[in-house]
Structure 1
Amino acid sequence: MNKHINLTSGEIASLWTVYMNDSMSLQVLSFMLKDLKDEEIKPVIQHAYDLSCSHIEKLTAIFKKENYATPNGFAEQDVNPNAPWLFTDVFCLTYVNFMAKIGSVTYGGLLSMSTRKDIRDYFTEVIHETTILYNTSLDIALEKGVNSRHPYISVPKETDFVDSKDYLSGLNPFQDKRPLNAIEISYLYMNIMTNSIGNKLCLAFAQTSPSKDIQEYILRCSDVAKKHVKIFTDILKEEDIEVPEVPDISISNSTTWTFSDKLNMFHISLMMQAGIGNYGTASAASQRSDLMLNYERLSLEVAKLAKSGADIMIQYNWLEQPPGIKLRKKLARDKEKS
């Protein structure tokens, strides 16, 4: 007889997180699908939609088996299917590729937080699926010439070692900074792309939101994203590194309500979480002190903005609470009262 093994806190958190993300993705992708015209891009978006459907189905089965209350997440009422088109086909392709990148990193972390075999098997499967989605969407982008590559630099012809502590410097205005290395260039460009996509998404959400206060907050997010793009771009340009053009990730001029403000705010929060994670990784990987300081400073700015967004979501009762433990003292007092 097999003994039932209870879910750990890491597994409960992981399952809750991916359910929320997939339920949101379903609504966004369903809206994108209705207006897609490109016959090469549409199957990729359809595949992403089908994966989210499959994930929701499997997660719901796990919740039922474990007597785990299914999160509210997002549903059909969070999208207006009659709204006019909002995203270009290229934006949809870039969006799916970008979300697949986020998914690959997220699922890898959640797998490492899981112990029970069936949960590990689930995350192993979705990592494989997300990797295929990333590669497929990137292949289509390359074939259509709408993918932006990282900057090119010369291939190393010999190995070298750091021979001075000056290699780690960069804050002294009276001292020349050493040239950026390949790792630093890669992270700078990745964060340019991330903020560029985030900016376009913010503009789309802001112009279609019916609420003035939500519009103003989302536009603040857009301004911060544009500012960060400029900071990272200027660092590359100072070294005469050509920054490849971002793909045509355009949006329409529609102002019709498209997604619920609850979904808009959740999506932006998800993007900011990914951004803070990217900055943390970039800071740890960068060896020039001025870059580290920049990432730390900008991370704090995003964190403060995310806190303002969370306050708004609490105000409107949109912020769904992750599973947690009960306050022991409160349980004891409630027992005494009864």
Structure 2
Amino acid sequence: MTEHYTQLTSAEIASIWTSYMNDSMSKCVLGYFLKTVEDEEIKAVVQYTYDLSATHIEKLTTIFQEEQIPTPTGFTYDNDVNLNASCLFTDPFMLTYLNHMAKLGLFGYSGFVSMSARDDIRAFYREGLTETSELFERSSKVLLSKGLFIRAPYIAYPTKTDYIDSKRYLSGLSPFSKQRPLNAVEISHLFMNIQTNIIGSKLAQSFAQISPREDIQKWMLRGGDISKKHIQIFTNILVKNDIQAPASSDIAITDSTTPPFSDKLTMFHMSFMSAAGTGNYATAAAASQRSDLLLNYERLSLEIAQFAKDGADIMISNEWLEQPPGTLDKDKLTNKKELNN
């Protein structure tokens, strides 16, 4: 019986292209981590993550070749990483970074699974989801064992179930009425977005201090300032509700100015983080029931979007922004046909 060939859908092409770009970036970052990490327990987690990225790249390359689709350029050791650069990140930062990237990976892979129809693509992303879950487990265990795991705020256990009995529950903007206390769902998203911005601010600071270009330094520092501003806004909301916002002083970078990564890679990385942040804010806005929280997430998302747009402009002007696969431009085809005639 002849096996039926099924072409990849646009969603599947988008998934494997995005995965290749992210994994090629991760392999460069993790290869550098392996050269500079000192703690053996943390090194084991870095090695596990590096091996995942390397394996993913091999599998994705095979898919591209079998489908006769050009393999993305992505990022390479030859062009985008200096493995001999001095240490830029502390071990606790590396571990926290891996834990955070595992969270982003869980969101990403679950979406890729749900968008895929072909058996082999679904199998690849189901396996990726399992591997990323294991990465989160391993990194969390080491964070906990070293006292570095930052827990979400505690609240008193509820004593009964209840129903919302007033539309005032949804309000939060009126200066004439007292805001209701935050609920657990809203607290969890505020906490998560504080943690995300802490990582983002440190990355922006590190990338600014290693870039030789003034325009990139300014853009990175601006990104760090935006993250710090958002951290303060979310922290103030928690504090007003008598909830202490957790933070870690161990998430740090060194004073090294030797670039371990190309500007192309650091710009892509910050753009990736910006996209993830916008997605987090959209999820938080949808889950939050107080109108002031919704308004905050919407206006802060616009600020991130403008920052990301300015970053994309820098990347385009330097020919660093790789174009995703797309549909054929019919106008160009028509013009080409007319010229040939």
Q: TM-score, normalised by structure 2?
A: 0.98
Shift of 1:80: 1.2
The superposition leaves residues 217-268 of structure 1 with CA deviations (integer Å, 9 ceiling, x where unpaired) of: 1100000000000000000011110122225111000011221110000000
Aligned to 1:197: 199
Which residue, out of 308, 324, 327, partners 2:326?
324
- 3-state secondary structure, aligned to 1:25: helix
Aligned to 2:87: 85
- 3-state secondary structure, aligned to 1:41: helix
- 3-state secondary structure, aligned to 2:41: coil
Aligned to 1:249: 251
Question: How many residue pairs are counted as aligned between the two chains?
Answer: 338
The superposition leaves residues 131-150 of structure 1 with CA deviations (integer Å, 9 ceiling, x where unpaired) of: 00001100110011101100
The superposition leaves residues 60-113 of structure 1 with CA deviations (integer Å, 9 ceiling, x where unpaired) of: 010110001000000012011121101111100000110010011011111111
Misfit runs of 4+, over 2 Å: none
Q: What is the alpha-carbon distance in structure 2 between the residues aligned to residue 257 and residue 44 of structure 1?
A: 24
Shift of 1:327: 1.2
Q: Are 2:55 and 1:61 aligned?
A: no
- 3-state secondary structure, aligned to 2:73: coil
The superposition leaves residues 12-67 of structure 1 with CA deviations (integer Å, 9 ceiling, x where unpaired) of: 00000000000000000111111111111110000000000000000001011000
Q: What is the alpha-carbon distance in structure 2 between the residues aligned to residue 186 and residue 309 of structure 1?
A: 29
| Structure 1: gaps spanning 5 or more residues | none
Aligned to 1:231: 233
Q: What is the alpha-carbon distance in structure 2 between the residues aligned to residue 306 and residue 31 of structure 1?
A: 26
Identity of aligned residues (%): 58
Summarize the alignment of residues 28-177 of structure 1 with structure 2, pairs less than 5 Å apart. Answer: 28-76=29-77, 77-177=79-179
Q: Are 2:309 and 1:310 aligned?
A: no
Aligned to 2:222: 220
- 3-state secondary structure, aligned to 2:154: coil
Instruction: Note the aligned Cα RMSD (angstroms).
Output: 0.8
Shift of 1:329: 2.7
Q: What is the alpha-carbon distance in structure 2 between the residues aligned to residue 257 and residue 151 of structure 1?
A: 37
Amino acid at match of 2:70: A
- Check conservation: 1:146, 1:247, Cα contact below 8 A: no
Shift of 1:282: 0.3
- 3-state secondary structure, aligned to 1:236: helix
- Check conservation: 1:286, 1:292, Cα contact below 8 A: yes
Q: What is the alpha-carbon distance in structure 2 between the residues aligned to residue 162 and residue 242 of structure 1?
A: 26
